[in-house]
């Protein structure tokens, strides 16, 4: 889905230069690969339309939303269309500096932040005349900073669960690009006590995945499972058995593999089973775990490939 303003950027070298130099939205960088292959957890297509000078990439999703992925494993939506994303990028130079704000913060705080951010930018680049020329050339409206913060905030809040980005090789999820107090609590959305996720072994996965799946919350369940597996992969002490130093209860990993398989996400099931296998203590346990792992691996090899963006 290509929006009106993006077509103009691609067709007009002057507008493209303004967007790239003053607002770090460089359509020429779309031809370069992202720092690593990525895909959506939901499996939908991604189209790179621009990049920034720190190695980040702007992707358009199947529904037209624009997802920004940085070069250090963070990602979030910044607009529900390319035109809207460009309004945010141009209207809020260095838009990431506004990601912790909401319309509820009020005009005084938003305007103070804008003044602070743009004062720093003007030490290196012109943005005022450039903004006016770019907005006029792209046919975009001139919105107040409060309106733009509201647009950015609404886009950010739509990131999870449908637009979560994964490293396509390791399958771990990108973190939400900006810590935001108003990020919808996924565990509450699923009807799960958040405390159950501070300690992955505290709650069997099926007790909350099956009811949520029955309500059609497939992507919310998928993201919750992926985040839970990411946490264990990064910190295996989460599997520690209370009162038994050095011992691990690996059953949550097997539960995760089963839940991913039930969900139909075989690559993530294989990822969980692979870690489960690696943590088994006895030859018999490792052999049994390897048998399941190999079965999953064969199913993954036969399965259709998920779209990957380089």
- How far lies 207's CA from each of 137, 201, 255, 256, in Å? 54, 12, 11, 12
Tokens of 139: 């046919």
Say yes or no to pLDDT of 302 above 90.
yes
Residue 238 per-residue DSSP state: G
Query: What does the pLDDT read at residue 208?
Result: 82
pLDDT tens track for 200-220: 345 688 888 888 899 999 999
CA neighbor of 5 nearest in space, from 81, 83, 72: 83
Query: What does the pLDDT read at residue 183?
Result: 44
Whole-model pTM: value is: 0.90
> pLDDT exceeding 70 applies to what percent of the chain?
90
The dihedral region occupied by 20, where left means phi > 0, alpha psi between -120 and 50, and beta the remainder, is: alpha
Give the span between the Cα atoms of 61 and 231, in whole angstroms.
26
Assigned CATH topology for domain 185-302: 1.25.40
> pLDDT exceeding 90 applies to what percent of the chain?
81
Say yes or no to pLDDT of 192 above 60.
no
Query: What does the pLDDT read at residue 202?
Result: 56
CA neighbor of 154 nearest in space, from 216, 101, 112: 101
Say yes or no to pLDDT of 45 above 70.
yes
Listed in order, the ranges of the chain carrying CATH 1.25.40 are: 185-302
Contact 121, 93 (CB under 8 A): yes
Tracing tokens 């989460």 back to the chain, one arrives at 238
The DSSP line for 61-86 is ETTS-EEEE-TTSEEEEEESSHHHHH
Angle CA(71)–CA(6)–CA(83) in degrees, nearest 5?
Answer: 85
pLDDT tens track for 251-260: 999 999 999 9
pLDDT tens track for 122-140: 988 889 999 999 999 999 9
The dihedral region occupied by 139, where left means phi > 0, alpha psi between -120 and 50, and beta the remainder, is: left
> Which tops the pLDDT comparison, 113 or 212?
113
């Amino acid at each position: 889905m290509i929006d009106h303003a993006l077509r103009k950027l691609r067709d007009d070298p002057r507008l493209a230069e303004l967007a790239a130099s003053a607002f770090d939205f460089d359509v020429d960088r779309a031809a370069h690969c992202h720092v690593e292959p990525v895909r959506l957890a939901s499996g939908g297509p991604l189209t790179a339309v621009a990049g920034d000078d720190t190695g980040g990439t702007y992707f358009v999703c199947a529904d037209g939303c624009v997802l920004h992925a940085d070069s250090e494993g963070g990602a979030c939506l910044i607009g529900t269309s390319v035109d809207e994303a460009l309004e945010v990028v141009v209207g809020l130079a260095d838009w990431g500096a506004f990601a912790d704000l909401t319309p509820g913060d009020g005009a005084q705080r938003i305007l103070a932040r804008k003044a602070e951010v743009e004062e720093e930018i003007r030490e290196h680049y012109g943005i005022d005349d450039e903004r006016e020329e770019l907005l006029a050339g792209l046919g975009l409206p001139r919105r107040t900073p409060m309106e733009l913060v509201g647009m950015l905030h609404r886009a950010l809040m739509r990131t999870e669960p449908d637009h979560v980005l994964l490293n396509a090789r390791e399958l771990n999820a990108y973190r939400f690009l900006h810590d935001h107090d108003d990020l919808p609590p996924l565990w509450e959305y699923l009807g799960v006590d958040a405390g159950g996720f501070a300690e992955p072994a505290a709650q069997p996965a099926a007790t909350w995945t099956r009811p949520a799946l029955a309500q059609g919350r497939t992507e919310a369940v998928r993201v919750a499972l992926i985040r839970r597996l990411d946490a264990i992969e990064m910190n295996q002490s989460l599997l520690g058995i209370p009162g038994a130093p050095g011992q691990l209860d690996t059953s949550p990993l097997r539960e995760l593999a089963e839940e991913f398989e039930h969900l139909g996400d075989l690559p993530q099931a294989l990822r969980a089973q692979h870690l489960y296998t690696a943590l088994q203590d006895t030859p018999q346990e490792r052999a049994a775990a390897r048998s399941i792992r190999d079965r999953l691996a064969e199913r993954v090899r036969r399965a259709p490939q998920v779209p990957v963006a380089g």
